[in-house]
Amino acid sequence: MTGVEEVRVAPVALHRLEPLLTPERVERLEAYVATARDLLASRTVWNVNSTARGGGVAEMLHTLVAYAAGTGVDVRWLVVGGDADFFAVTKRLHNRLHGVPGDAGALDAAARATYDATLVRQRADVLARVEPGDVVLLHDPQTAGLARDLRDRGAFVVWRCHVGLDEHDAWTREAWGFLRELVEPAHACIFSRESFAPDWVDRRWLRVIPPSLDPFSPKNSDLDEREVARLVHRDGLVVEGRPLPTAGPVVLQVSRWDRLKDMAGVLDAFADHLDELPPDAHLVLAGPETTGVADDPEAAEVLAECRERWRSLPAAARARSHLVSVPMDDLDENARTVNALQRWSTVVVQKSLAEGFGLTVTEPMWKARPVIASAVGGIRDQVEDGVSGVLLGDPRDGAALAAAVSSLLDDPDRREAMGRAAHQRVRDHYLADRHLIQYVELFAQLVGEG
Ligand code: UDP
């Protein structure tokens, strides 16, 4: 897809959340909804990103747009497409914002020309829809290049960055050097953590807003055991390994096929320390079908690398590890399958080398699964080490990962306590009411200052 497409999302009433909130939270939310209705009565709030499916941003937009629309606010979602060259440049930006080169390409004038060439095609289409006074949320590097024109059009422009590295290095500085000129025209910026923001971002207009999840979406809603079993054991999911086990503890990582998620590192840690784990423990690595995520050009390559790695393992490790590719043709079914895998697993790991936030941590936490995850980026905000999960200080330390897995698999009481604390943590901090309130606060300030 190379044009602009609108994603239609059916409104969902915010009341649905109320049973999960304290009366104080319900009251606060109602007050903000009233403010939003006044403030946005004659405006549209636009979200613009580069994929309707796969990955955390699309996941979050599906639910937030639905809830926002449910309040009566006119909220829309546009997806700007691009060609392979455009996504090669934006993936390079994505990688370098996480401190790794990604590929050998440069972020030079030629890369900028490639980036601009795609956005020039989208610009007119986006501008034709947006009215002066509207609020536009541009998500991630893929859409930053629209900020200046939208501002000139008279819109309030917010650039939201979902990625980042806690400590800046030469790679992040290169990426930020590319993005600075594109981002600066935005009226405000949102980051998932403050440390991700480069120092030239105007602190008065920087907001820290972490993502949230929806407990009622197909990704997170309750599933009974039979449904879990049906989804997990249906044909066609496993691309390497035997059919998924029907007994014994399961260690799961769910991620896009992105090197920064280090699926291969999880596989190595499992295989290298197989003897330290219970003899009936299995590892499942699950990611989306690689043709399914439009703005992620490296996925097929990364999955192929993992398959190669799996094939080179000793037979004992191969017998107990499984690579799963979850079909993307039916998004609800994809979400329910991930949901089922998370509920079915004994321990969930997220061995990311860098992570903007990590909904794949939030989701199992909501399901009261004990999570073992790298102490990087937004994961550090979600998991309180030893309480609502386990944090690994060195994301590359496979031995430490295996030791943490082994210790949790041996201790059902600790797993249960951790799962309970994890669920409560998500309930307290990562539901849509907090998220929408933070948006309304920002919009009120933006519109208030004209
Ligand atoms: N996801 C999915 N199907 C898959 C793999 C991942 O729906 O096969 C979802 C996952 O459940 C989560 C999102 O993709 O909601 C990933 O978001 P996260 O913030 O963890 O990382 P990102 O992919 O944005 O880097």
> 97 CB under 6 A from ligand 1?
no
Q: Which helix (H) or strand (E) holds 57?
A: helix 56-70
The CA–CA distances, whole Å, from 283 to 58, 202, 251, 323 equal 27, 45, 5, 9
Q: How far is the CA of 148 from the centre of ligand 1 (A)?
A: 30
Radius of gyration (C-alpha) of the chain in whole angstroms: 21
Cα torsion through 226, 228, 231, 233, rounded to 10: -80
- CATH number for the domain spanning 286: value is 3.40.50.2000
- Is the pLDDT at 110 greater than 80, yes or no? yes
Q: Are residues 443 and 419 in the same domain?
A: no
**Residues 237 and 161 placed together within one structural domain of the fold:** no
Ligand 1, atom 23, lies closest to the CA of: 55
The answer to whether residues 187 and 247 belong to one domain is: no
Q: Which residues are CB-contacts of 185 (< 8 A; sequence separation ≥ 6)?
A: 147, 148, 151, 157
Q: What percent of the chain has pLDDT over 90?
A: 95
Please tell me whether residues 132 and 233 are part of one structural domain: no
Enumerate the β-bridge partners of residue 97.
Answer: none
Domain co-membership, 112 together with 177: yes
Please indicate, yes or no, if residue 217 is contained in any of the structural domains. Answer: no
- pLDDT at residue 54, as a whole number: 83
Is residue 307 classed as helix, strand or coil in its secondary structure?
A: helix
- 99-131 burial: b if 16+ Cβ within 10 Å, else e: bbebeeeebeeebbebbeebbebbbeebeeebe
Question: Each residue of 361-376: pLDDT tens digit?
Answer: 999 999 999 999 999 9
Query: Does some domain include residue 220?
Result: no
Task: Identify the pLDDT of residue 387.
Answer: 98
Q: Return the half-sphere exposure (C-beta side, CA atoms, 13 A cut-off) of residue 377.
A: 30
Residue 218 lies in a domain: no
State how far the Cα of 102 lies from the Cα of 302, in Å rounded to an integer. Answer: 12
The parent domain of residue 60 ranges over 4-212+432-449
Q: Is residue 155 part of a domain?
A: yes
First to last CA, the chain: 36
**3-class secondary-structure state, position 131:** coil
What is the mean predicted confidence (pLDDT) over 299-323?
97
What is the C-alpha separation between 361 and 24, in angstroms, rounded?
27
Q: Cβ(190)–Cβ(144) under 8 Å?
A: no
Where do the H-state alpha helices sit in 312-431? Answer: 315-319, 331-344, 359-366, 379-382, 398-409, 412-429
**Residues 419, 445: one domain?**
no
The pLDDT value given to residue 121: 87
Residues 252 and 194 in one domain: no
Nearest CA, atom 5, ligand 1: 287
**Cβ–Cβ < 8 Å for 356, 162:** yes
Query: Is the pLDDT confidence value at 1 over 90?
Result: no
Residues 199 and 295 in one domain: no
Strand partners, 231: none
402 CB-side CA count, 13 A: 19
Distance (Å, whole) CA 429 – CA 381:
10
Mean pLDDT across 82-97: 96
Q: 420 and 329 in one domain?
A: yes
The answer to whether the CB of 139 falls within 8 A of the CB of 64 is: no
Ligand 1 near 115 CB (within 6 A): no
HSE, side-chain direction, 13 A CA sphere, residue 69: 17
CA 353 distance to own-chain centroid: 14
Tell me the average pLDDT across 46-65. Answer: 93
Question: Are 392 and 444 part of one and the same domain?
Answer: no
Residue 219 included in any domain: no
Positive or negative, the CA dihedral 403, 406, 409, 414 is: negative
Q: Does the pLDDT at position 106 exceed 80?
A: yes
Whether 111 is in a domain gets the answer: yes
Q: Kindly list the distances between the CA atom of residue 424 and the CA atoms of 8, 162, 254, 301, 420, in Å, as whole numbers in the listed order.
A: 32, 24, 22, 38, 6
* Ligand 1 centroid from CA 361, angstroms: 10
Quickly state the pLDDT bin for 384 (edges 50, 70, 90).
Answer: very high
Q: What total of structural domains would you count in the chain?
A: 2
Q: How far apart are CA 437 and CA 28, in angstroms?
A: 9
Residue 379 Cβ inside 6 Å of ligand 1? The answer reads no
DSSP type of residue 17: G
Q: Does the beta carbon of 140 sit less than 6 angstroms from any atom of ligand 1?
A: no
Q: Are residues 378 and 270 in the same domain?
A: yes
41 CB neighbour count, 10 Å cutoff: 10
| Cα–Cα distances in angstroms (integers) from residue 253 to residues 160, 256, 282, 301, 340, in the given order | 27, 10, 12, 18, 13
Task: Determine contact, residues 51/79, Cβ cutoff 8 Å.
Answer: yes
Averaged pLDDT, 286-299: 85
pLDDT value for 3: 86
pLDDT in tens, 123-138: 999 999 999 999 999 9
Looking at the DSSP bridge assignments, the partners of residue 326 are 288
- Which of 255, 322, 324, 435 should be mutated for ligand 1, with most atoms under 8 A from CB? 255
Q: How confident is the model at residue 297 (pLDDT cuts 50, 70, 90)?
A: confident
Q: Write down how long the chain is.
A: 450
pTM, entire model: 0.96
| pLDDT at 375 (0 to 100) | 98
Q: Which of the 8 DSSP states describes residue 165? A: -
Q: Is 292's pLDDT higher than 80?
A: no
**Residue 295: predicted pLDDT:** 74
Ligand 1 contacts CB of residue 285 (under 6 A)? no
Determine if ligand 1 sits within 6 Å of the CB of residue 303. no
CA distances from 362 to 158, 317, 358, 365, 429 (A): 25, 29, 7, 5, 10
At residue 2, does pLDDT exceed 90?
no
The pLDDT tens digits for 239-269 are 999 999 999 999 999 999 999 999 999 999 9
Do residues 171 and 311 both lie within one domain? no
pLDDT for 34 beyond 90: yes
